[in-house]
A and B are shown apart, each in its own frame.
Chain A
Amino acid sequence: MKFTIQVNEGPYQHEAADTAYHFARAALDKGHEIFRIFFYHDGVNNGTRLTTPPQDDRNIVDRWSKLGQEHDIDMVLCVAAAQRRGIVDDGEAQRNGKDATNIAPGFRISGLGQLIEGGIESDRVIVFGD
C-alpha cells in the first residue's frame, strides 16, 4: 500500500516524531511505499539541521535525513508552518530576506497542497501528533 504520514509535532517534545519514524520504518520493511511524509505545525522542527542532541540518545533529525535518503522518500515541511517557526532553505532565505538557512538534508519546503495531494494519491493517511 501507499502511505502518507503527517507529523504534527517537533523532535523530542512529543513522542509523535518517534512513533511516526518507527511506523515508517516498519511499513518500508514490509514492502509498502511511503508516498510522502508531511510535517505540519511544530513538526517542521524535525527539519532543522542545527540540533545537537545528547550523544547517548537518538538523533531524530539525522534519523529522518537517513530514512529519506535511503528510501528516496519525499519529506516535506509545510512552508507556512516553516516560515512561522524559522525553518529556512535557500529559496525561502532569498524570498524573505533571511541571512541563513537551516534545512536538514533530505527535506524540502513546500505548500499545504502537498498534504492534500498525499491524501488523494495514497491508500492510507496516518497522522501523528499531540
Chain B
Amino acid sequence: MLHLVNKSPHDGCNLDTATSIMKDGDSLLLIEDGVYGAIKAGKAASLLEGRSVSVLGPDLAARGISEDKLVDGITIVDYAGFVDMVTASDNVQSWL
C-alpha cells in the first residue's frame, strides 16, 4: 500500500495514524504540508524510522526546505515519481 500524508505532523494526527497502520513493504509519500514531516530536526522524524519514505520535491522546494534538512534515507520524487509509486503499490490510502 502507498500511504499519502498531506498535513504537517504538528497539525493533527495524520502522520501518527498513517505510521501506526503501515505494514512492512508499504510506502509513505509526504506531499503538500506533509513534507514538513520529513525534517530531521522535527518531532516526527522518529515516526519515519525503519519505513520506506519519500517526499514530493516540488512541495519541499515551495516551502524552502533544503535536502540537507531531511531525515536520512528519504527519497525525493517529482510528480512522475509519484505516479510510479502509485502503480507500484496495490492500493493508495490518503490520510486526509
Contacts and interface: CB of A to CB of B under 8 A. Distances in A.
Touch test A–B (CB under 8 Å)? yes
Q: Is the interface of B mostly helix, strand, loop or mixed?
A: helix
A32 B96 contact: no
Contacts of B96: 8, 127, 129-130
B83 A32 contact: yes
Contacts of A3: 86
A122 B66 CA distance: 36
A8 to B, nearest CB: 7
Contact of B86 (A15, A19, A22, A126): A126
Contacts of A16: 6, 32
Contacts of B83: 23, 26-27, 30, 32
Interface of B: 4, 6, 31-33, 58-59, 78-80, 82-84, 86-87, 91-92, 94, 96
Interface of A: 1, 3, 8, 15-16, 19, 22-23, 25-27, 29-30, 32, 123-130
